[in-house]
Structure formats: C-alpha cells, structure tokens
Structure 1
Amino acid sequence: MPLVHIDLIEGRSAEQLSKMVEEVTAAIVKNTGAPAEHVHIVLNEMKKEHYSVGGVLKSAE
C-alpha cells in the first residue's frame, strides 16, 4: 500500500488538487504496479503564515 504525503501552501482549487492526486496516483501505479485503489495520498495544506523560505514568511510576499 503506497502512502504518499504531499505538503503544499494553501490556495489551490479543488479541481487542481483533484487533478494532482489523479496524476500522482497514475505515476505510482505505473512505477510500482500497485493497484490504484491501494494508493493513499494525504494532502497537508499550510497557511502562508505557517511557512517560510529564507527567514521570510510566504504571507509577507
């Protein structure tokens, strides 16, 4: 059972997230042979106030 965790900053639409998990699932199936129904994906969306690059919060950009 492949388990994939994806961390990303909030702001994508439900349609974008849906397309992303479809394509990630297809890549896992293609490269591991695991059935799609056994691929689990966890999306962790972070607020821009909770993520920083180079000491600058993404919310400050």
Structure 2
Amino acid sequence: MEEFDQRIAYAIEYNLLVKVIFWSDSFTSDITGRVHFVNSINYQLRIESETGEFHRISFKDVVGIAVLA
C-alpha cells in the first residue's frame, strides 16, 4: 500500500494521468484519469477520467496503480 500512496502523491503533485486497476463484480477493471481527491476517511480515491466523469474507487478494491507520463 505504501507504494500506491507514493504513486498517488506523485501523480497529484505533478497532475499526471494514472491507470488504476481495481476489482469490480469479481473482475478486474481499469480506468485512466487524474486523481482528483483522496478521501482518507472513507478510504476512497476520486478519479476524473479522460472523458470528464468522476469515479469513486475504494482503496480495498485497488489492485494496481501506474503513473502515465
């Protein structure tokens, strides 16, 4: 988890795109966008996708995070 935290912090600081891979209905899904907000109370990421939509992803569902250059 610490590695994910570092990647998220880096992406927020430099406003970089991230690809988040997460569990959804027993399958893995992915979304590409910018980290808009990290809710540490509810343990959720708020991602603004490339299409402008906002998605909430629970920390427990995250499988991987990659920072895209």
CA radius of gyration, larger in: 1
Superposition TM-score, scaled by structure 1 size: 0.29
- The structure richer in helix per residue is 1
More strand by percentage: 2
